[in-house]
Amino acid sequence: MKKYISSLFILSIILSLLHCKESSIENNYRDPIAYGIDTAKLYEAYSNAEEIDGIYSLLVSRYGDVVMEKYFHGHSAEKVHDVRSVTKSLTSILIGIAIDKGFIKDINERMSNYISPLVGTFDEDKKTITIEHLLTMSAGFQWPPIGDWSEYNNWINAPDQIDHVMNKPIITEPGTQFNYNDGASHLLSVILTEATGLSAKDFAVKYLFNFLEIGDRHWRTDNRGYNLGNVAVELTSIDMIKIGNLFLYNGIYNENRIVSQNWIEESTRNHISTGIGIEYEKYYGYLWWVYDKGEHPYYFANGYGGQFIVIVPNLELVVVATNKWLDTGNKADENWYRTITLIIEEIIPAVN
């Protein structure tokens, strides 16, 4: 009898291991039920995620703990990934830290204080542009609106990325109208370097990544050597969870104050309406997308093709997703929409 029970026990372990391998859910962390998450709904969401062609990862963290994570299409916990415009939210964090530490006076400082020495001429109508205008995508430069042909391609392939954006005319009064502008957000990285004497990457490592136990990460530069303030930082999905939890807990990580609570509150507050018809993208903070409506308001870092750090403060919830974006054509937009919809309409409702 004992031999029979022992055999059943061994068989159950083998079947369990096979199931874990098949599902690829690295659920060695916590029991979802213990974290107030409906396990059936969560597993259904993960099952639906498998239908998204480009998805690489989906992680759910509550109360600071990773409850469930899964990797797809050959991705893994160790792999870094270019998280596209999630980089903008990272740049925003670095600007906040620089202000906290006195490298930059405040968001009302004029862009010209830092940029004018780097360009040949500086038009008068650009002298009123402030750091806040760059953070809220309201600097007023002529730039095709989001959804039209991406000016990003012209900008990244230009001989000089700073000159490319600075040569654009001002068509709306700064601070009055949202217009998604990759080039303008890159200028924040330039400002950060001019203010601190460190590249954005080196500043991030010294004042952010080391505290989050992230360490060094690759971050592409422009033709002058400035790290791109808008795209191309490479992170793991766990790195993204750490950034989400830093914000969830008001700038503190492992009992270290990394960025001020005031900066987090201001950067994730609705500062400007975007005019975009998609429900998830109607409001904007300081390079964070903000949805302050409904029972569970949230804000998120948002990258092309489906890169997300979604933070739901009143649920103490962070959800991270990444997707393939290179060489995906029209699928990039579809994957983006399916992923954010799955997070908002399936994962958040699974949390009590």
Q: In this structure, what is the dihedral angle of CA atoms 321, 324, 325, 329, given to the nearest 10 degrees?
A: -130
Residue 252 pLDDT greater than 70, yes or no = yes
Region 274-286: mean pLDDT is: 93
Q: Give me the pLDDT at residue 149, please.
A: 63
Region 69-92: mean pLDDT is: 97
Q: Give me the pLDDT at residue 121, please.
A: 85
Q: Does the CA dihedral 62-344-211-284 come out positive or negative?
A: negative
Q: Give me the pLDDT at residue 8, please.
A: 37
Average pLDDT, the chain: 91
Chain Cα centroid distance, residue 54:
18
> Tens digit of pLDDT for each residue in 146-166?
765 679 999 999 999 999 999
Angle of helix 86-100 relative to helix 182-196, nearest 10 degrees? 30
Q: Does the CA dihedral 321-54-83-269 come out positive or negative?
A: negative
- Dist CA 314 CA 274 (whole Å): 24
The two tokens of residue 292 are 């302050």
Give 124's pLDDT tier (boundaries 50, 70, 90): very high
Q: Does the CA dihedral 172-195-246-210 come out positive or negative?
A: positive
Q: Taking a C-beta distance cutoff of 8 angstroms, is the pair 291, 297 a contact? A: yes
The two tokens of residue 236 are 């793991």
> Tens digit of pLDDT for each residue in 195-220?
999 999 999 999 999 999 998 999 99
Q: Give me the pLDDT at residue 30, please.
A: 80
Tell which phi-psi region holds residue 71, choosing left (phi > 0), alpha (psi between -120 and 50) or beta. beta
- Dist CA 309 CA 301 (whole Å): 5
Residue 27 pLDDT greater than 70, yes or no = no
Listed in order, strand segments (DSSP E) in 207-304 are 234-235, 252-253, 256-257, 272-273, 283-284, 289-291, 298-303
Q: Taking a C-beta distance cutoff of 8 angstroms, is the pair 88, 135 a contact? A: no
Q: Give me the pLDDT at residue 6, please.
A: 41
List residues bridging with 283 in a β-sheet. Answer: 273, 290
> Tens digit of pLDDT for each residue in 281-322?
999 999 999 998 889 999 999 999 999 999 999 999 999 999
Region 12-25: mean pLDDT is: 38
Residue 11 pLDDT greater than 70, yes or no = no
Q: Set out the domains of the chain in order of their start, with CATH numbers.
A: 81-350 (3.40.710.10)
Task: Report the candidate in 263, 269, 302 with the shortest Cα–Cα distance to residue 284.
Answer: 269
Q: In this structure, what is the dihedral angle of CA atoms 159, 160, 165, 168, given to the nearest 10 degrees?
A: -60
Q: Give me the pLDDT at residue 21, please.
A: 34
Residue 191 pLDDT greater than 70, yes or no = yes
Listed in order, strand segments (DSSP E) in 201-242 are 234-235
Q: Give me the pLDDT at residue 146, please.
A: 72
Q: Give me the pLDDT at residue 10, please.
A: 39
Region 19-43: mean pLDDT is: 72
Task: Enumerate the H helices of 147-292 as residue ranges.
Answer: 151-156, 161-166, 182-196, 200-204, 237-248, 261-267
Residue 14 pLDDT greater than 60, yes or no = no
